[in-house]
Amino acid sequence: MRSKRLILIILMALGFAATASAQYPRAFGIRGGYGLEVSYQHFLGDPHFLEVDLGLDLEGERGFKVTGSYDFVIARPNITRGGDWSIYLGPGLSAGYVYNKDAEDASFMVAGCLVLGMEFAPWRHFGISLDFRPMYGWDFGGKKPYLGGLLSGLIPSLGVRFLF
């Protein structure tokens, strides 16, 4: 009899957890600066969210990469009368292939990054963000530090997302 109660309690807890996580918004859109990325955000609860970006670098060390970050909302300023503002910060990792102009071949790279951004949601299902994401890592093909994302990450990237 105790095992049936335990199973029932576990199933109820899992059900409540699934219901609670379904209440947090998600966002899907594009993000661009020196490249163009498809961006997905999954809010884990106030004040943190996961962001995964898949995209192309079009300047500097051209390539393809996926970047994931775990971001924390550090402030929600009341700047305008309407809409919601948030300032976020978080660490992340990136991996992908970059084209090395010197060696004229593509190589694998891994990098760590730090995201600092601000988002404005003027309407319920629309958000605009501006963020910085410098990254530093290792280019395995060139056997050298990956610096392609360090300087280009200091240039702000604009994101436009649909919130659902």
Q: What is the pLDDT along the chain (164 residues), one digit of tens a residue?
A: 565 664 555 555 444 444 444 445 899 999 988 789 999 999 998 889 999 999 988 766 678 899 999 999 999 998 888 888 999 999 999 999 887 666 677 788 899 999 999 999 998 889 999 999 998 998 887 777 877 677 777 889 999 999 88
pLDDT score, position 134: 92
pLDDT score, position 14: 47
pLDDT score, position 104: 73
CA distance 120 to 126: 9
Which of these, 22, 39, 21, 24, lies nearest to 117 by C-alpha position?
39
Two tokens, residue 91:
């660490």
Two tokens, residue 139:
């280019």
C-alpha torsion sign, points 115, 120, 123, 124: positive
Could you report the per-residue pLDDT of 22-66, keeping only the tens digit for each? 445 899 999 988 789 999 999 998 889 999 999 988 766 678 899
CATH numbers and ranges of domains, the chain? 25-163 (2.40.160.20)
Two tokens, residue 25:
């918004």
